[in-house]
Chain A
Amino acid sequence: MKKTNMRTGAQALVDSLEKAGVEVLFGYPGGAVLDIFNLLPDAGFQFVLGRHEQGSAHMADGYARSSGRPGVCLVTSGPGATNTITGLATANMDGVPMVLITGQVPLSQIGTDAFQEADMNGICRAVTKHSFLVKSADEIPETVAQAFYIATHGKPGPVVIDIPKNCQQALTDAEYPERVSLRAYHPESPATTAQINKFAKLVNESVRPVIYAGGGVIASGASRDVANLAHKAQIPVATTLMGLGSFDEHDRLSLRMAGMHGTPAANWAIDEADLVIALGTRFSDRVTGKLSAYAKKAKIIHVDCDAASIEKNVGVDLGIVADIKDVLTTVNSRIRKATHPEWMKKIDGWKKSHPVSWKPMHKGVIMPQQVIEAVDRATGGRAVVVTDVGQHQMWATQFFRHNLPRHFLSSGGMGTMGFGIPAAIGAAFARPDHQTVAICGDGGAQMTFEEIVVAVEHKLPVTFIVINNGCLGMVRQWQQLFYSKRYSGSILTVRGRLANERLKQDLKYDYLPDIVKLAEAHGAKAVRVIDPAKLDAAVKKAVTSGETSLIEVIVEPRANVYPMIPAGKHVSEMLFK
């Protein structure tokens, strides 16, 4: 008689996650997933309890960005599921592989407005790569295998598996499939010989070429191939926010980041180039500015694994839907060694005349850019840097010398405030041997501050740096530049608020909450730095301690991020102050 492996759907799920190679599961329990939680103490992977489902989702995201392996998260039905939506949308925009398992009310109760019922499949459709509603325990192993396949093939993305409680309890002997076959989904296709030849020809003929590298280079593991291409034909390299770390910024060929807050050299080079080689990027509006005037002198090659990204925003001369590493491996053997002395001279001149820089504004007040430079110095540029969203994020792109892939993690497409703290924790679980530094503003830090408990509980070597300017800096900057200095809703300190937002009574302390006390209440060592002379020592001490700690740095509130190309404008309209 054939031996059967009869067990509950919940056990089949845990077995399947083990088979899929899961090492860490992030999540939060609730009624509709109790059958699964009941099995976790004996599971072959670690479970990490977050403090809010959004935090758990961002942890899974940070884990995936840092490791390249899918991040996995488990939450309950209804509010548990809906709390993850921002996490899903964040991962979806940036192409991060994730599998989210949500509990669901029993099949018989779906559609009855049952307690903690939400139509998770309906809600998550627009912010996921795919979603499944399991309808029997027998489907669980195959669905898990398909979810991991979909999350990691083609353009990576988040996949949801919604599992009704009765399917978790029912018995099944279904086995985890050895191979996944999806009838309609075949994202991989190699480049044709004609495409490769045209790529090489355009490179060989170009006089002012630029490589423009996005997050797809990192996802494809093609950083070395990009460097080979750049060095062989002497092509300068600009990156997107998501592409930071794909090319060493210490290299003479590095133009650093392009776009709204990118370097003048990167933006001018793209504007002047006769060939733009765009790799794994989607020509975001934050990079292109005015589309009709973008890279007008250049022929454009665009390589991306997502067919829908090509010709979406920018017309191209050669579009290739394929894996970047595969394409470059072949192309690199077909291009000639070349140098472009005049082009390089021009670029070196731009870099020298217009480096990203900052000047002190008030004596004795720390400038926020200094904080990023202190982190770069203290870590030797080797730490995994995770940011939140806003001014500090842009300064982290500008004043840290990025040199390693998967070492700069940031919510690019979605711009999710509250991402930084939990994503840094997830990243630390992926690389426990590595120093992780989370750089946050005072606004975003307050959105997911509760997750710091998780870093403390697990003794993670994460340094949380809260750059406190007492306001929502990027909002304030836009209001200063484009909304006639009416700082509506953007000032967090007591002073400086508009009349309609003023508090009834004066507070003793201008900054609320007291971030240091808050961190201490969460069990973390915390220190506040106000004196510029004490900044370096405080950062150095924290990042070398190997402990969970927080540094609050009180900085100049009116510092702005420059250079800046206002939204929808051309490179020539760049603001420097």
Chain B
Amino acid sequence: MKEEIYRLNCYVENRPGVLARIVGLISGRGYNIQTLNVGPTEDGSVSRMRIDVLASSKVIEQVILQLRNQVNVIEVTSRRRG
């Protein structure tokens, strides 16, 4: 299946361990994170993560569903970067 770069936008609770869980979910499937950007939002208890991954659309769909299952993940969206 064709692999493209997808940007995942995740809003997560700002707690220790959350980043490791999210990154582990992606790297545990053998996918390489190309860019990772984590920063605060206006709401100090929420962080935003931008993650660029090279993968197929099928894998990205699965990853998004599994990210949403995480206890500390508030919302995930994605878009293709080509």
Interface residue ranges, A against B (CB under 8 Å): 121-122, 125-126, 129-131, 133, 150, 154-155, 182-185, 187, 306-308, 311-312
- B28 lies within 8 A of A126 (CB): yes
Binary CB contact string for chain B from 43 to 82 against chain A (1 if under 8 A, 0 otherwise): 0000000000000000001100110111111100000000
A187: chain B residues at CB < 8 Å are 69
- B16 lies within 8 A of A307 (CB): no
Minimum distance in angstroms from B9 CB to a CB of chain A:
15
Q: Roughly how many angstroms separate A537 CA and B67 CA in the complex, as a whole number?
A: 54
Contact among B12, B24, B28 with A184 in the assembled complex (CB-CB below 8 Å): B12
Known: A154-B69, A185-B71. A133 touches B16 (CB 8 A): yes
Known: A133-B16, A308-B62, A308-B65. A182 touches B71 (CB 8 A): yes
Minimum distance in angstroms from A110 CB to a CB of chain B:
11
Nearest B residue (CB) for A146: B71
Minimum distance in angstroms from A259 CB to a CB of chain B:
22
Q: Roughly how many angstroms separate A350 CA and B28 CA in the complex, as a whole number?
A: 43
- B17 lies within 8 A of A184 (CB): no
Known A-B contacts: A154-B69, A184-B13, A308-B68. Give 19 more (CB < 8 A). A125-B20, A125-B21, A126-B24, A129-B71, A130-B70, A131-B17, A133-B17, A150-B71, A155-B69, A183-B13, A183-B74, A184-B70, A184-B71, A185-B71, A185-B72, A308-B65, A308-B69, A311-B61, A312-B62
Q: Roughly how many angstroms separate A171 CA and B21 CA in the complex, as a whole number?
A: 30
Closest 8 CB pairs of A and B: A308-B65, A184-B74, A185-B71, A130-B71, A308-B66, A307-B65, A125-B24, A308-B69
- A184 lies within 8 A of B73 (CB): yes
B73: chain A residues at CB < 8 Å are 184
Minimum distance in angstroms from B66 CB to a CB of chain A:
5
Q: Roughly how many angstroms separate A155 CA and B65 CA in the complex, as a whole number?
A: 13
11 A–B pairs (Cβ distance < 8 Å), ordered by A: A125-B20, A130-B71, A154-B69, A184-B71, A184-B72, A307-B69, A308-B65, A308-B66, A308-B69, A311-B61, A312-B62
A311: chain B residues at CB < 8 Å are 61
- B69 lies within 8 A of A121 (CB): no
Q: Roughly how many angstroms separate A131 CA and B20 CA in the complex, as a whole number?
A: 12
Nearest B residue (CB) for A184: B74
Nearest A residue (CB) for B45: A183
Q: Roughly how many angstroms separate A252 CA and B19 CA in the complex, as a whole number?
A: 52
B16: chain A residues at CB < 8 Å are 133
Q: Roughly how many angstroms separate A185 CA and B66 CA in the complex, as a whole number?
A: 12
Q: Roughly how many angstroms separate A183 CA and B12 CA in the complex, as a whole number?
A: 10
Q: Roughly how many angstroms separate A485 CA and B46 CA in the complex, as a whole number?
A: 58
A306: chain B residues at CB < 8 Å are 69
Minimum distance in angstroms from A184 CB to a CB of chain B:
4
Q: Roughly how many angstroms separate A311 CA and B60 CA in the complex, as a whole number?
A: 13
A125: chain B residues at CB < 8 Å are 20-21, 24
Q: Roughly how many angstroms separate A7 CA and B24 CA in the complex, as a whole number?
A: 37
Q: Roughly how many angstroms separate A346 CA and B40 CA in the complex, as a whole number?
A: 63
A122: chain B residues at CB < 8 Å are 20
Nearest A residue (CB) for B24: A125
Minimum distance in angstroms from B48 CB to a CB of chain A:
13
B65: chain A residues at CB < 8 Å are 307-308
Minimum distance in angstroms from A319 CB to a CB of chain B:
11
Q: Roughly how many angstroms separate A129 CA and B69 CA in the complex, as a whole number?
A: 9
Minimum distance in angstroms from A68 CB to a CB of chain B:
22
Q: Roughly how many angstroms separate A131 CA and B12 CA in the complex, as a whole number?
A: 16
A130: chain B residues at CB < 8 Å are 70-71
- A307 lies within 8 A of B71 (CB): no
Minimum distance in angstroms from A263 CB to a CB of chain B:
31
Q: Roughly how many angstroms separate A311 CA and B64 CA in the complex, as a whole number?
A: 13
Nearest B residue (CB) for A182: B71
B74: chain A residues at CB < 8 Å are 183-184
Q: Roughly how many angstroms separate A311 CA and B28 CA in the complex, as a whole number?
A: 20
- A307 lies within 8 A of B68 (CB): yes
Minimum distance in angstroms from B19 CB to a CB of chain A:
11
Minimum distance in angstroms from B62 CB to a CB of chain A:
6
B72: chain A residues at CB < 8 Å are 184-185
Q: Roughly how many angstroms separate A535 CA and B82 CA in the complex, as a whole number?
A: 67
Nearest A residue (CB) for B69: A308
Q: Roughly how many angstroms separate A81 CA and B12 CA in the complex, as a whole number?
A: 28
Q: Roughly how many angstroms separate A154 CA and B73 CA in the complex, as a whole number?
A: 15
Minimum distance in angstroms from B21 CB to a CB of chain A:
6
Nearest A residue (CB) for B75: A184
Q: Roughly how many angstroms separate A535 CA and B50 CA in the complex, as a whole number?
A: 64
Nearest A residue (CB) for B67: A308
Q: Roughly how many angstroms separate A182 CA and B73 CA in the complex, as a whole number?
A: 11
Minimum distance in angstroms from A180 CB to a CB of chain B:
11
Minimum distance in angstroms from A14 CB to a CB of chain B:
24
Q: Roughly how many angstroms separate A125 CA and B24 CA in the complex, as a whole number?
A: 8
Nearest A residue (CB) for B28: A126
A131: chain B residues at CB < 8 Å are 17
Nearest A residue (CB) for B17: A121
B24: chain A residues at CB < 8 Å are 125-126
A308: chain B residues at CB < 8 Å are 62, 65-66, 68-69
Q: Roughly how many angstroms separate A182 CA and B72 CA in the complex, as a whole number?
A: 8
Nearest A residue (CB) for B16: A133
Q: Roughly how many angstroms separate A126 CA and B16 CA in the complex, as a whole number?
A: 16
Q: Roughly how many angstroms separate A126 CA and B70 CA in the complex, as a whole number?
A: 12
Q: Roughly how many angstroms separate A308 CA and B20 CA in the complex, as a whole number?
A: 20
